[in-house]
Amino acid sequence: MFNRFFLFLLVYGLIVLVPRAHAGGAACVMAKYQGQTLDYELVVTQGHPVEAQEEAERRLRERGWGDYYKHLDVIRAQNLTNLPSAHVMVIRSEFKDQRGRDRSVMGCGFHSNSYDEALWDALRDAQNYFWGWKPDRDGYEVVKKLRY
């Protein structure tokens, strides 16, 4: 009886307490300012998605987006995934808002099964960050399509 209980504790401890290796992921980070998406960076990693996010932010800062107008940091992580392999779609739309001002929005989508599902994720992502944007009204173009 004692041996079974000890074995149970050992197996449970290994399952719960031992950290699991992370298989990879990706991050899509944007540089945004006053309703405009100025630039983006998509990074895929074998490590944790936060590593991809930090690398994308570093690359955008190297291009000057970390010290924009009046020293603003306009870099924002927009979509992360921990999928070890995925279909990826990045979309962009340039349009006028209800007041006639020029605006732009980008969306990143990830999905394990198909580009179509990744596109739906990218459309939802763009709408989450610019709620006034409507894809059927304002249109969009696919900027990047890849699989990792």
Mean pLDDT in residue range 91-103:
93
Residue 13: inside a domain: no
Taking residue 125's Cβ as centre, other Cβ atoms within 10 Å add up to 21
Mean pLDDT in residue range 77-88:
96
Q: Are 98 and 132 in contact (CB under 8 A)?
A: yes
Residue 25: inside a domain: yes
Please check the confidence at residue 39 and state whether its pLDDT lies above 70: yes
Confidence bin at 135 (pLDDT 50/70/90): very high
Q: How far apart are alpha carbons 58 and 75 in whole angstroms?
A: 10
Structure confidence at residue 83 (pLDDT): 96
Please check the confidence at residue 79 and state whether its pLDDT lies above 90: yes
Domain carrying residue 129: 21-147
Per-residue pLDDT tens for 106-119? 999 999 999 999 99
Residue (of 62, 56, 24) closest to 40 by Cα position? 56
Residue 9: inside a domain: no
Q: How many domains does the chain have?
A: 1
